[in-house]
Amino acid sequence: MPSTIEETLDRELDVVVVGGGFSGCYLLHKLRQQGFKVLLIESASGFGGVWRWNCYPGARVDTHVPLYELSIPEVTQTWNWTEKFPKSAELVRYFEHVDKVLDLKNDSVFNTKVVKATFNDDDSLWTIATDNGTAYKATWFIPSVGFAAKRLYPDFPGLDDFKGVVHHSSFWPTEGVTYSGKRVGVIGTGSTGIQLVQEMSKDAKALTLFQRTPNLALPLHNVKLTPEMQAENKPRYPAIHKLRLESKGGYDFNADDIDTFDHTPEEREAYLEAKWKEGGFLLWVGQYRDVLTNLKANRETYDFWARKVRAMISDPQKRDVLAPLEPHHPFGTKRPALFMNFYEAVNQDNVHIVDVNKFPIQKAVGSGLVTADGKTHELDILVMATGFDAITGGLKAIDIRNGTGESLNGKWANGTWTNLGLMTAGFPNMFFTYGPHGPTAFSNGPTCIEIQGDWIVEALVYHRSRANKRMEPTPTAEIKFRNLVNDRTN
């Protein structure tokens, strides 16, 4: 074993890409096509990014195929899905196929975590150090670690005393967890929490969902796909993938050219009903164009959503917690989950809903969780579906330093500054994808990633053609961009 990182600088590369999800695979392929020497470093044992980690019961994607895939023709033409909204295991198999077709493994290392990256002003090279003691030098450093790379574990007092088992949804044992006949607690009602409840409630003896924020979930309407169905559709894929680039959210639809109050109440009900019936994200970003900019209009959609969902829940207590008459937050300002049988599941007698806004979780004890009403919820298995230190967490987990020794963590301690959601001033030759100030969680991942990826590849080709060794945004550019992002968000 080498004793110092300096002794192990075994390869000089043009680019180091960190992460083997959609971004990493896309960038490795596209950069290699342009003749760059690239190495992809991945902490897991294979490609797939978040889908490799997210193997909890019921995990599946919320964007239908062929929107949720890479647009690379060699891959699309040789792959068939079995469902419109595939499960995580099928996505992992898809990534194996991507690797087979594009031959990505040859330029990748696995089971290796990047722990530090340092830029040197003298030679304009990054030194990228890993947890196994290896280090690499490269002109360009692209941490494509995803927006969900760092787990969020609530730190309830007494958690160590809990005698059952605790699992985070995104670190689910690959061999599975036996929960049949057990008392399961799920904390969190993001997409993950909704999917876990749908699946685990089938076999658990009791399932208690601890909800802080209601999820304004929409129907998914899954369909089985045959190779014949896909063969018929494949000639249209290039057009579908092009449309994805032109729509606002990276899907195959946009908001309609009409405002909420252009319709009479009867017309509005029928219009929203049609969107609900079609399913997916249409009721979120494929309906009236003012739903996310006019609070009064937004309330119309919320009330419609609450009527639909309340009608599905038989127990009045569960109904008021899961779909309250007064919105917890404006509709669509959090990415809604897509449900399959969630509201049927919550109607089951073995499913209990705890409103942790009203009765916060105070502590864990040997037998379960204690809430502020003094009740002990007895559990054998506790599932943290509590999400991630999202967006910047994965980047901040790497000790990234520029030529003056300044760390990215230090720069972003009190906020995030980027230009175009791709680079940050003072950290030359570093790009990130699907991260801060990008469309990220408010968009279809593969679309966002391909737009950003193509931009990065073009930039690198441009600089190579001019023999430029260094690129970074100006502080003025990133302040302007930050203001633009904040204005639009507000």
Least Å distance, CB 211 to ligand NAP, is 7
Q: Which is nearer to ligand NAP, 419 or 440 (CB)?
A: 440
Strand partners, 120: 125
Q: Which is nearer to ligand NAP, 54 or 429 (CB)?
A: 54
Least Å distance, CB 190 to ligand NAP, is 2
Least Å distance, CB 82 to ligand NAP, is 16
Q: CA quadruple 372, 373, 376, 380: dihedral positive or negative?
A: negative
Least Å distance, CB 335 to ligand NAP, is 5
Least Å distance, CB 224 to ligand NAP, is 18
Least Å distance, CB 189 to ligand NAP, is 4
Least Å distance, CB 426 to ligand NAP, is 29
Q: Which is nearer to ligand NAP, 189 or 429 (CB)?
A: 189
Residues that bind ligand NAP (CB under 6 A): 60-62, 148, 154, 169, 187-193, 210, 212-213, 335, 356, 385-388, 441
CB atoms within 10 A of CB 14: 17
| Cα(123)–Cα(40) distance, integer angstroms | 22
Q: Which is nearer to ligand NAP, 71 or 440 (CB)?
A: 440
Residue 408's nearest CA partner among 388, 420, 394 is 394
Residue 433 · residue 449 · CB < 8 Å: yes
Q: Hey, what amino acid is at 131? A: D
Q: Which is nearer to ligand NAP, 382 or 425 (CB)?
A: 382
Q: Which is nearer to ligand NAP, 102 or 370 (CB)?
A: 370
What residues have CB less than 8 Å from 49, skipping those under 6 apart?
19, 20, 21, 22, 23, 24, 95, 146
Q: Which is nearer to ligand NAP, 61 or 92 (CB)?
A: 61
Least Å distance, CB 315 to ligand NAP, is 20
Q: Which is nearer to ligand NAP, 55 or 385 (CB)?
A: 385
Least Å distance, CB 247 to ligand NAP, is 18
Task: State the residue number with the nearest CB to ligand NAP.
Answer: 190
